[in-house]
Structure 1
Amino acid sequence: MDKYLIKKPRTQDSSPVQDSSPSSKRSRVDFNLENLPSDPGLLQKISSYHPNNHDEIRRHYLGKGPCRPPHDYPVSYFSGKPRRFRVEWYETRNWLEYSIAKDAAFCFYCYLFGKDVGKQGGGDTFVTKGFRLWNQVGKLDSHVGGVNSAHNQAVKKSEDLQKEKQHIQSVLVKQSNQDKAEYRIQLNAIVDCVRFLLFRGLAFRGHDESQGSSDTGNFLELLQFLGDLNESINEVMQNTWKNCKLTHHDIQKDMVNAIAHETSKAIIEDLGNGFFSILVDESRDISVKEQMTLVLRYVNKQGIIIKRFLGIVHVASITALSLKCAIEGLLCKHNLSLSRLRGQGYDGASNMQGDINGLKTLILKENKLVFYVHCFAHQLQLTLVAVAKNHINIADFFYVVSNLVTVIGGSCKKRDALRDAQLAKIKEDLENGVRRSGQGLNQETNLKHPGHTRWGSYYGTILNLILMFSAVADVLEIIEEDGLSDQKHCKKKNQDIVNAMDLVKVSKQRLQVIRNDEWTSLLTEVSSFCATHDIPILNMDEIFVVSGRPQRNTQQNTNLHHYRVELFYTVIDMQLQELNNRFSEVNTDLLICMACLNPSNSFVAFDKEKLIHLAKFYPYDFPGTDILALDSQLQNFIFDMRNNDLFLELQGVSKLAKKLVSTRKHETYPLVYLLVKLALTFPVAIATVERSFSAMKYIKNELRNRMGDQWVNDCLVVALIMRLSCNDFKK
């Protein structure tokens, strides 16, 4: 990214910094009107001055007019013939001026009002380089061009600027204090309406916005509602000229764009020059356009983890290279560099996590410190999904479960029948003393389709099926008897590093314990379930019969061997192997080291050697001298923490960061705090990205499926920052 950006050095004060690059749009040139050069060959571009001074400089030059100094014009030779600038050319060209320094002709108006790279005849020749082809006088006339040429547009702008009475500043100055106050009331009311509609994800426009219509849309109706409640707003809106009501949908878009711009600017300022990670996902919108969402994760100056939606980009292709280009473009737009990136998190799709040409690999080639970790909630969930796909018996089982859920939930009538059957079963169990009654017990449950990327959905579906087995069986009998059967059918919240690694560790340990010690208890539980629901129980010592295949082609194994070895042991081994594959050695090592920062139980997980090893993962942030200093800081840090009552009850690395900042300990132990920030910046879940797609479905829906990309992006930037800020405030 640095090859596209020219980073400004950061200073302690907030004053603007000069950029040495003449092409930088941020560079500013100090000036004094009396010292401005007259020779057009020595002039700085208008864009190099501060925007607030542009008109003042233009008026200064317009007052002086084109530079036409008396001069003995030098001779140049073209094809052996002498040629030079001629004074007669001034007579029919009021825009022409001459530079003694460069012996070249320039356009007076194009310099003042033309673009940095003009589209008029000759490009920027008449603005920066100068025209010297004295043998081709016809090109002077071709520069002027047609009525709507860039040159004539610049002339028109110069005429408009000289009309002082029509200037916006003059109009504002002439307004009375009452007019200004009324305009402010009107503007505040409209901005409040825009903010409310953005926060709720509601549409702005109506079917018929004409006066007296009953369907003017949410914006106009809300504005009218505010007027009905506030007499001052109503009076201002009634007396405002029709061409100044600020209710046109183009003005609404401009307001939302301005709010989105200021919102993004505030996010970038809050980030400052700190490290950040990116959370990326892609999905189709209602108009079948691939949209890529990018969220920043960083630690602010108060030591708080911040997740902010940066933008949504329409991508024509979802290849890794296309996504990388889109990410670079969005970061470049906000003056962010990949050099400050320290983490990347995706949903685990092949185009994201591929080791050869995946998105993570392409970014790692430019920055070796952008460590990748897959969303933990997705990671553990997809482990089960991968096993379900790779083991034929498990795949068949989930296929049957999916079909069963589809049949039961296929219509409102079937769902009602399931609720009634479950209610009858609960009443029967309560009467027989099988169930206990009390607050929170015996709540209504239902069957839901398991989803690959919804944390715990497979587990929840199976649990509900077990709890409602009798009711499901009754409903299936009703469906069969009534002929209702359709012939076509038979995320957890964001976690921190410590909790995520504990979850992985516990999952592996639990699977191993189940494999070694819990077969007997599982068999007993299954037998009890079968007995309760009148399901025949197999004799484990009999030969297992493979349905659908001749017995002579199968290996003769007992039921016990089949269910214990071929299913139970095999599936658990596949899950353990899948977990090990999804968590690479580098990522696991990295995360285990980060877990040593956990302050719980008086920093019982603290390990100085592992934390020094963690710092070595970031050689650019911790050069050799800092590693030595970190060793000393860690020793002092752990002694200080364990003897400070303010840090004894902390839970989680995020709480540690906030406490370090509030007590100013982050200044005492800057290298330790840098480790804490890197650990918190590391992405472990992409819930914020998925939340942005949920918001997109409200903003761009079937009724508003023609929304432009910029309009969608602006709405999402404002809507999500409002919602995330509310969540941060609640926390």
Structure 2
Amino acid sequence: MARSALVSEGFNSWKRVNDGEKCAFLIHVGSLSSSHNRCVKCVQDLMKPKQNIDKVLNAQSTEEIIKNMLRLKATIEAHLNDEIAKVVLHNAPQNAKYTSPQIQKEILHILANKVRTMIRDELGDAKFCILVDEAQDESKKEQMSLIFRFVNNSGFLVERFFEIVSVEDTTSANLKKSISDIFVQHNIQIHNMRGQGYDGASNMRGEWNELQALFLRDCPYAYYVHCFAHRLQLTLVAAAKDVPSIWQFFSYLTSIVNFVTSSPKRLSDLQYAQQEEIAYMLAIGECESGTGANQIGTLHRPGATRWSSHYDSVRNLIDMYAATCKILGNLSENEPNGTIRGETCGLCNMIMSFEFIFVLFLMEKILETTDILCQALQNKSQDIVNALKFVSTTKVILLKFREDGWDEFFVKVKVFCERHNIEMPDMSCGYKVNRYCQQRDHVTVEHHYHYDIFNAAIDFQVMELNYRFSEATMELLALCSALDPTDSFKKFNMGDICKLASKFYPADFTQQEIHALRVELEHYQLDIVCDHEFQQISTLSALYREMIVTKKAESYVMIQRLIRLVLTLPVSTATAERAFSSMKFLKTARRNKMDDDLLSDCMILYIERQLSEKIDLESVIDEFYTLKSRRAQLK
């Protein structure tokens, strides 16, 4: 009654308002669970702002967004450090882990583009050189790597991996188009290119229609410099081919290494023989024990193009000579298979011949000398002036060895032969070319080994170095040496420096600036060249950094511009080749279906890890959600 009076019919019993038992206003309240009290409670809740439904929903949404962003951030960081993700993602909902292949690829692409943007910003408007190489990946696709070499604003010479591109064919026109597309995509101006570095393949270095020539048409000052490290390999290959005894030696060396390393049992026998040899040498006091000493190793196979690997192969055979001879001797006597026994006998006779030992130690010395140059030329921060210096010192050492090293070298070979019971020929007897030929008149065995092998091998080395690194054919590089700070600026020459700028870099120096350069050089000669602190510097790149640190570069604007151009010139394509080593690490037989874009993104993050660590993850998250929102709008 009271409920209908207050809800539908209206209230008119005013005389009963104060009657406690019959007052509708008092009766309709009811117990704590009555409708009235429930409504009162709802009104009170509604009047509290923090419990409004929109506030509750927004609060839940914000909290979820924060959690999702944390999970996304953990996923991004997982690309750089897997351990970080384990904690954050362990309890995440299955639909909010951000680990699906599509999302992972998007995140990788954003990260990779961040690194490319950082490299592009670091490059700025500086003059640069490109280093290009191509190779097949695991899935037999042709891949082309692109490296930028330039001097950054801090004065450091850097080589940055930028992109790897799948190319349908490796013709010069197609390679040039692929590189040009990258330039356009990242707003890199081709007129700023001042160098090209390739491995010397015909499609790269050809004079008329090949890659370096095509770029020279667009930028006539993008000078091509044949990879110095590759030149050195060609030098050694040519020298080996022109001395028959050395060519034959490497043929036998390859056969010996292949024979021993092709069988697990022979490898095991080799290691056991080494253990016995080391134990014997320790017992008679021929070698000393200690941490890292007397390691058990294996023979190394010499590479076809990586000629420096021949030094490792030669050095290892000398160290394991006794053990190698022992297992070959055992096989030649006890091997039941007649074919293998016959092959082993031939190898055993060869490895224990005097000529083999003679060439073995000769190539150890030659490769030991040239290996330092080879390693230096593959140094990431090497500059051309310093590279030419290494070429010069290598030639000096080889010539000194030729003129003064015979007696000491022969004693070394003789001692080794006596230790291992190798029969030595009578060096005073007449030399026969072979058993079917007559004795050569007035030519002794010593003369043959001294002049026909020892001198000839060194002469071919020096001759090839002179030919491939001739200053007459590399005027640009010769003029660059005038800036070399080595030996207290011994090669400093104002005329050559001005000629370098005017002849090879007319796009970077006007006639008026050439005059300003000459004036600067006069002050430079009395200031920096005579400064004791600068005289201690040995490389051009170190000189430039010191000029930046001491703010001398601000006073010598033309000189520092020229030094930057010289530093930009390529020395080797080792960085590009190292990129392919990374490609083999990332794209393996188990991951040979990795698409090309993903491979490129993974490689730049892997190779340029120092830049990857500087990425602002908040900007990556913002960009990811922007892309996600854009896709949602398109749908």
Q: TM-score band, normalised by the shorter chain?
A: 0.7 to 0.9
- SS of match in other structure, 1:344: strand
- Alignment-derived partner of residue 630 in structure 1: 517
Aligned 8 A contact 1:304 1:654 in 2: yes
In structure 1, how many angstroms separate the alpha carbons of the residues matched to 2:545 and 2:132? 26
Displacement, 1:284?
A: 0.7
Say which of 516, 539, 554 aligns to 2:426. Answer: 539
Displacement, 1:319?
A: 2.9
Displacement, 1:648?
A: 5.0
Query: CA 1:184–1:580 in 2, change beyond 3 Å: closer, same or farther?
Result: same
- Alignment-derived partner of residue 169 in structure 1: none
Query: CA 1:642–1:565 in 2, change beyond 3 Å: closer, same or farther?
Result: closer
- Alignment-derived partner of residue 324 in structure 1: 176
- Aligned: 1:706 with 2:593: yes
Displacement, 1:660?
A: 2.0
Code of the residue aligned with 1:663 in structure 2: it is T
- Alignment-derived partner of residue 575 in structure 2: 688
- Alignment-derived partner of residue 568 in structure 1: 454
- Alignment-derived partner of residue 264 in structure 2: 412
Say which of 570, 576, 581 aligns to 2:467. Answer: 581
- Alignment-derived partner of residue 324 in structure 2: 472
Say which of 209, 223, 227 aligns to 2:89. Answer: 227
In structure 2, how many angstroms separate the alpha carbons of the residues matched to 1:425 and 1:653? 49
- SS of match in other structure, 1:369: coil
In structure 2, how many angstroms separate the alpha carbons of the residues matched to 1:584 and 1:637? 29
Displacement, 1:309?
A: 0.9
- SS of match in other structure, 2:608: helix
- SS of match in other structure, 1:297: strand
Deviations 1:679-720 (A, max 9, x none): 221221323212211111122111111111112112112222
Code of the residue aligned with 1:539 in structure 2: it is D
- Aligned: 1:603 with 2:489: yes
In structure 1, how many angstroms separate the alpha carbons of the residues matched to 2:195 and 2:58? 52
Query: CA 1:267–1:356 in 2, change beyond 3 Å: closer, same or farther?
Result: same
Query: CA 1:254–1:227 in 2, change beyond 3 Å: closer, same or farther?
Result: closer
Displacement, 1:581?
A: 3.0
Displacement, 1:298?
A: 0.7
Query: CA 1:334–1:553 in 2, change beyond 3 Å: closer, same or farther?
Result: farther
- Alignment-derived partner of residue 277 in structure 2: 425
Deviations 1:168-222 (A, max 9, x none): xxxx99995434322321221121123346xxxxxxxxxxxxxxxxxxxxxxx98
- Alignment-derived partner of residue 186 in structure 1: 71
Code of the residue aligned with 1:349 in structure 2: it is A
- Alignment-derived partner of residue 436 in structure 2: 550
What are the within-5 Å matches in structure 2 for residues 368-383 of structure 1? Answer: 368-383=220-235
In structure 1, how many angstroms separate the alpha carbons of the residues matched to 2:408 and 2:423? 19
State which drifts further: 475-484 or 485-494: 485-494
- Alignment-derived partner of residue 10 in structure 1: none
- Aligned: 1:529 with 2:451: no
Deviations 1:447-501 (A, max 9, x none): 2112244463212221222232212111212333452888499673333334311
- Alignment-derived partner of residue 66 in structure 1: none
- SS of match in other structure, 1:636: helix
What are the within-5 Å matches in structure 2 for residues 655-674 of structure 1? Answer: 655-674=542-561
Asked which structure has the greater CA Rg, the reply is 2
- Alignment-derived partner of residue 200 in structure 2: 348
Say which of 311, 314, 317 aligns to 2:166. Answer: 314
Code of the residue aligned with 1:281 in structure 2: it is D
TM-score by length of 1: 0.65
Displacement, 1:726?
A: 7.9
In structure 2, how many angstroms separate the alpha carbons of the residues matched to 1:452 and 1:723? 33
- Aligned: 1:594 with 2:456: no
What are the within-5 Å matches in structure 2 for residues 433-452 of structure 1? Answer: 433-438=285-290, 441-452=293-304
Displacement, 1:385?
A: 1.8
- Aligned: 1:654 with 2:549: no
What are the within-5 Å matches in structure 2 for residues 45-124 of structure 1? Answer: none
Query: CA 1:522–1:359 in 2, change beyond 3 Å: closer, same or farther?
Result: farther
- SS of match in other structure, 2:226: coil
Q: Higher helix proportion, which one?
A: 2
In structure 1, the gaps of 5 or more residues are 1-171, 198-220, 229-233
- Alignment-derived partner of residue 607 in structure 2: 720
Aligned 8 A contact 1:298 1:681 in 2: yes
Aligned length: 522
Displacement, 1:286?
A: 0.5
- SS of match in other structure, 1:622: coil
CA RMSD of aligned residues (A): 3.2
% same residue:
37
Query: CA 1:226–1:361 in 2, change beyond 3 Å: closer, same or farther?
Result: same
Displacement, 1:601?
A: 5.0
Query: CA 1:725–1:502 in 2, change beyond 3 Å: closer, same or farther?
Result: farther
Query: CA 1:354–1:483 in 2, change beyond 3 Å: closer, same or farther?
Result: farther
- Alignment-derived partner of residue 512 in structure 1: 399
Displacement, 1:444?
A: 4.0
- Alignment-derived partner of residue 56 in structure 1: none
Aligned 8 A contact 1:308 1:724 in 2: no
Query: CA 1:570–1:436 in 2, change beyond 3 Å: closer, same or farther?
Result: same
In structure 2, how many angstroms separate the alpha carbons of the residues matched to 1:424 and 1:245? 57
Query: CA 1:719–1:660 in 2, change beyond 3 Å: closer, same or farther?
Result: same
In structure 1, how many angstroms separate the alpha carbons of the residues matched to 2:514 and 2:119? 32
Displacement, 1:289?
A: 0.8
- Alignment-derived partner of residue 147 in structure 2: 295
In structure 2, how many angstroms separate the alpha carbons of the residues matched to 1:337 and 1:467? 53
Query: CA 1:392–1:666 in 2, change beyond 3 Å: closer, same or farther?
Result: same
- SS of match in other structure, 1:336: coil
- SS of match in other structure, 2:431: coil
Query: CA 1:724–1:400 in 2, change beyond 3 Å: closer, same or farther?
Result: farther
- Alignment-derived partner of residue 98 in structure 1: none
- Alignment-derived partner of residue 218 in structure 2: 366
Query: CA 1:551–1:586 in 2, change beyond 3 Å: closer, same or farther?
Result: closer
Aligned 8 A contact 2:197 2:570 in 1: yes
Query: CA 1:460–1:253 in 2, change beyond 3 Å: closer, same or farther?
Result: same
Code of the residue aligned with 2:80 in structure 1: it is R
State which drifts further: 363-372 or 643-652: 643-652
Q: Relative contact order (C-alpha < 8 Å, sep 6+): which is higher?
A: 2
Code of the residue aligned with 1:504 in structure 2: it is V
Displacement, 1:604?
A: 4.0
TM-score by length of 2: 0.75
- Alignment-derived partner of residue 445 in structure 2: 559
- Alignment-derived partner of residue 562 in structure 2: 675
Query: CA 1:253–1:649 in 2, change beyond 3 Å: closer, same or farther?
Result: same
Query: CA 1:289–1:523 in 2, change beyond 3 Å: closer, same or farther?
Result: same
Displacement, 1:505?
A: 0.6
In structure 2, how many angstroms separate the alpha carbons of the residues matched to 1:258 and 1:709? 15
- SS of match in other structure, 1:188: helix
- Alignment-derived partner of residue 255 in structure 1: 107
Aligned 8 A contact 2:149 2:160 in 1: yes
What are the within-5 Å matches in structure 2 for residues 123-142 of structure 1? Answer: none
Aligned 8 A contact 1:630 1:672 in 2: yes
- SS of match in other structure, 1:717: helix
Query: CA 1:645–1:553 in 2, change beyond 3 Å: closer, same or farther?
Result: closer
Aligned 8 A contact 1:194 1:252 in 2: no
Code of the residue aligned with 1:180 in structure 2: it is I
Aligned 8 A contact 2:605 2:612 in 1: no
